Structure 1
């Protein structure tokens, strides 16, 4: 979130506080203080890896997948917080406009009341007797009746404006509570991410250099085995669809990021997480899509693998915790995990949940 938005939100909250005091006595907002920095929780101790590098590889995979799930939680909470912040700002603007309208109406009502007071000293019969021109009096009486109607309408509008302000204040209070809940959810997800990554890094740090090299080989072998099995199914022979114009733009953007580091919660331009890469690639192609891999799976149109075309998104694992972009020839471009760079990989190197198409219409 940029500093401009933070300033706007701070201003909005200040306005909401002021109006709430006027509209609902005894109720006020208090902008939460930023959370105090806390030391990172110590990672849970893990057993020494010994020589069972395959078990280490599997454990690392579980840890990084858990971090990926927590990253989706973090990104979803951040997206909600952004929307709630926008709602608070909109409500603050309505409150400012409502206060100005209330001030104008109050001034007009006061002027009307003063005018009626000045004209109301004698009964109408006395005004008629004292008037030099009865017709002028009758014309004036008509204008007085019109003034009464106008004043009644003015008071009604004044009451409605006051009610609107009270409702805006209640709505702003509810949105602020949601914003606070989102902030807590985001912080909890961040703690999960950091814990899983810390455990994985600790586990990797226990390996000797030759063990790390062998572990890398095991990862490559596992990926190759999975990709070979996927290709041997004959699926690639069925995939022949060409990319759409927008799909080509999305692929061009995603492949241009190859070599940049993975960073959880990042949306570029220097680093990305898996769904940050795919969502930004499609934004660059003129199509906004959900921010997280789980929402991409839920909300985008599902496509049969045989109908897959470059630009489509391949969703992985049963919990939809990872996503890559299909670029053709059985390959994807994706941001793998912490400690790795954006790269090209076989589309079948991970368990495929399904395929979705951002520009299905």
Structure 2
């Protein structure tokens, strides 16, 4: 039996069509798909980003501290200026009232002088006003000079505030850029099951090391924070960054130290101690090379610190890895 041309073409199409449908139904690996990184690779990449981010964040924290100081100074000078200005205005009003009264009784020749709003205009003609008290005139000069000085100081403080505000905004942009990268790594760690969210309400664990005195109070506080999450800029009570934990721990012992890693290292320039187990004491501050990280020596070869994004406050042994990273130590 001879098949028609149409039938023949139909038979020939079936195998090809079947192969096409099969290709659509059977999953296939993408040639461009990237292999999933291992947990070790993800952590290594995160560590590299955290080393970079740690410096940026610490610089941001420092700029924020300086901005707060500048704002406080500006607010104080501005308040002092306003108080001084009110005093000058009150004195000027009394002098004008006195002068007008003298004019009304025929002693003066120029009423415009006493209507001036600027005390300096009044001062320019005060030598002709013999009826005014010499003491009051001198007081006005004194207050007017003080007001001008305060105004200059306030303007300088305002300039300083603007400068630190600009610096903080610039660093905030850097922080945002770095945070975006850290967020990507955080998602990766979560997907791999290696992200530690921590517990902001963690009560930590007791400190049982050899510290005494203030250092013991420092470490009791620090160990009570174990298990709480690392957070950039964290100062407690629910999360910390590395220098925030150190500052809070020493504050709990009644000792004030600067906020940032850079400041603490600089502040400790005359408080450095040799970096070896024989010389270190519990409570000493340990700084990493590059000043991107720090921790508190806990004694017996251990350190307590707030490590990095995706981790929690914890105690670690000062093994070869950590000794290789350390720059120096400071004793508050």
Q: Same fold by TM-score, threshold 0.5 exceeded?
A: yes
1:320-359 counterparts in 2 under 5 A?
A: 320-348=291-319, 349-350=321-322, 351-358=325-332
Counterpart of 2:259 in structure 1 is 291
Query: TM-score normalised to the size of structure 2?
Result: 0.69
Structure 2 distance, partners of 1:121, 1:343, is: 84
SS at match of 1:325: strand
Determine if contact 1:273/1:335 at 8 Å carries over to the other structure.
yes
1:70 to 49, 52, 56: 56
Which is bigger in relative contact order (C-alpha 8 A, separation at least 6)? 1
SS at match of 2:98: helix
Structure 1 distance, partners of 2:47, 2:131, is: 80
Please list the CA deviations of residues 311-359 of structure 1 after superposition, one character each: whole Å capped at 9, or x if unmatched.
111111x21111111111100111111111111101234211111111x
Counterpart of 1:95 in structure 2 is 81
Determine if contact 1:294/1:320 at 8 Å carries over to the other structure.
yes
Determine if contact 1:315/1:324 at 8 Å carries over to the other structure.
yes
1:196-345 counterparts in 2 under 5 A?
A: 196-204=181-189, 207=192, 243=211, 245-300=213-268, 301-305=271-275, 306-316=278-288, 318-345=289-316
Determine if contact 1:64/1:196 at 8 Å carries over to the other structure.
no
Please list the CA deviations of residues 258-316 of structure 1 after superposition, one character each: whole Å capped at 9, or x if unmatched.
11111111100011111111110001111111111222122112111231100111111
The unaligned stretches of length 5 or more in structure 1 are 1-46, 123-143, 217-241
Determine if contact 1:331/1:344 at 8 Å carries over to the other structure.
yes
Counterpart of 1:82 in structure 2 is 68
CA apart distance, 1:75: 1.4
The unaligned stretches of length 5 or more in structure 2 are 1-32, 109-128, 197-209
Alignment CA distance shift 1:48-1:95 (3 Å)? farther
Determine if contact 1:262/1:338 at 8 Å carries over to the other structure.
yes
2:169 to 184, 187, 191: 184
Structure 2 distance, partners of 1:245, 1:194, is: 39
Alignment CA distance shift 1:83-1:312 (3 Å)? same
Determine if contact 2:42/2:185 at 8 Å carries over to the other structure.
no
SS at match of 2:290: coil
Structure 1 distance, partners of 2:106, 2:213, is: 76
SS at match of 1:307: coil
Alignment CA distance shift 1:121-1:277 (3 Å)? closer
Structure 2 distance, partners of 1:260, 1:205, is: 17
Q: What number of residue pairs does the alignment pair up?
A: 261
SS at match of 2:294: strand
Structure 2 distance, partners of 1:146, 1:247, is: 71
1:155-170 counterparts in 2 under 5 A?
A: 155-170=140-155
Structure 2 distance, partners of 1:283, 1:302, is: 20
CA apart distance, 1:164: 3.1
**Computing the radius of gyration over CA atoms, which structure comes out larger, 1 or 2?**
2
SS at match of 2:217: helix
1:27-176 counterparts in 2 under 5 A?
A: 48=34, 50=36, 55-118=41-104, 121=107, 147-176=132-161
